[in-house]
């Protein structure tokens, strides 16, 4: 089964919650950006990543605005579930921008990254990376992969969100700057037939009917899945 949660920011306690502990072997937890456990490359961090990679369930994440892109790009790229990923450790992977995956019979389109609201307070290459914004190759890859699936996807997982959704999550009125990524996500919402869309940047747990989910601390079973019932003993 596929489960979804929001920004973790390297908080290991979030992955020790009751909701996460219920996950079983074969389950998948998808994080909507700002994973935060790939940050400083320290020995302590490597131990944590090794521990996460040994979980019985699989952890997948898209990159956000508080992830070390230089470190992420140092990990090997392999194929998983029909798309390219970076294997961080064992059962822990980064979903790459523009890729489409098939997980438990569902198609998942991933497009991490976004704009940092606090960029002016951070240092490039130390606490902020310009690659948080997609490049032309990643946009083109996304368009091609979506077209290969006839622009029909079960789940869209992003960090940032289209400008059309901001009014529903109480974003300040002066936050109306439209970057290329927002224009792309706007087009995505209009041109792709999708089941549900999950995004994490805005640190809210809120369903925006009928198909959008702002994610943060909650861990939810992605809707539209058939829950497997235990066989009763006779």
Quote the domain boundaries for residue 109. Answer: 2-221
Tens of pLDDT, residues 193-234: 999 999 999 999 999 999 999 999 999 999 999 776 655 544
Q: State the pLDDT at residue 167.
A: 76
Q: How far, in Å, CA of 103 to CA of 31, rounded?
A: 14
Question: Which candidate, 71, 157, 160, places its Cα nearest to that of 116?
Answer: 160
Residue 106 in any domain: the answer is yes
Residue 232 in any domain: the answer is no
Q: Which residues pair with 30 in a beta bridge?
A: 4, 60
Residue 227 in any domain: the answer is no
Residue 230 in any domain: the answer is no
Tens of pLDDT, residues 57-95: 999 999 998 899 999 999 999 999 999 999 999 999 999
Q: Is the pLDDT of residue 174 over 50?
A: no
If one counts the domains in the chain, the total is 1
Q: What is the CATH number of the domain that holds 188?
A: 3.60.21
Tens of pLDDT, residues 101-133: 999 999 999 999 987 766 666 767 666 667 788
SS3 content of the chain, % helix, strand, coil (to 5): 25, 25, 50
Cβ proximity of 129 and 68 under 8 Å: yes
pLDDT band at 179 (very low <50, low <70, confident <90, very high): confident
- Report the share of the chain in percent with pLDDT over 90: 78
Residue 77 in any domain: the answer is yes
Residue 171 in any domain: the answer is yes
């Amino acid at each position: 089964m596929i489960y979804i949660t929001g920004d973790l920011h390297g908080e290991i306690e979030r992955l020790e919650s009751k909701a996460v502990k219920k996950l079983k072997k074969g389950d998948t937890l998808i994080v909507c950006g700002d994973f935060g456990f790939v940050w400083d490359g320290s020995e302590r961090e490597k131990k944590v990543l090794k521990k996460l990679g040994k979980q019985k369930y699989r952890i997948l994440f898209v990159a956000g605005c508080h992830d070390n892109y230089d470190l992420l790009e140092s990990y090997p790229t392999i194929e998983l579930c029909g798309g390219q990923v970076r294997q961080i450790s064992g059962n822990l992977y980064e979903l790459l921008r523009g890729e489409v995956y098939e997980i438990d019979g569902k198609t998942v389109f991933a497009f991490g990254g976004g704009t940092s609201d606090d960029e002016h307070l951070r240092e490039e290459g130390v606490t902020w990376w310009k690659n948080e914004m997609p490049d032309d190759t990643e946009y083109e890859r996304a368009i091609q992969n979506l077209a290969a699936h006839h622009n029909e996807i079960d789940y869209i997982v992003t960090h940032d969100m289209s400008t059309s959704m901001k009014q529903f999550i109480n974003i300040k009125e002066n936050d109306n700057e439209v970057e290329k990524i927002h224009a792309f996500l706007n087009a995505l919402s209009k041109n792709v037939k999708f089941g549900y869309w999950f995004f994490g940047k805005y640190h809210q747990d809120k369903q925006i009917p009928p198909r959008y989910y702002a994610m943060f601390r909650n861990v939810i079973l992605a809707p539209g899945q058939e829950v497997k019932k235990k066989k009763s003993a006779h």
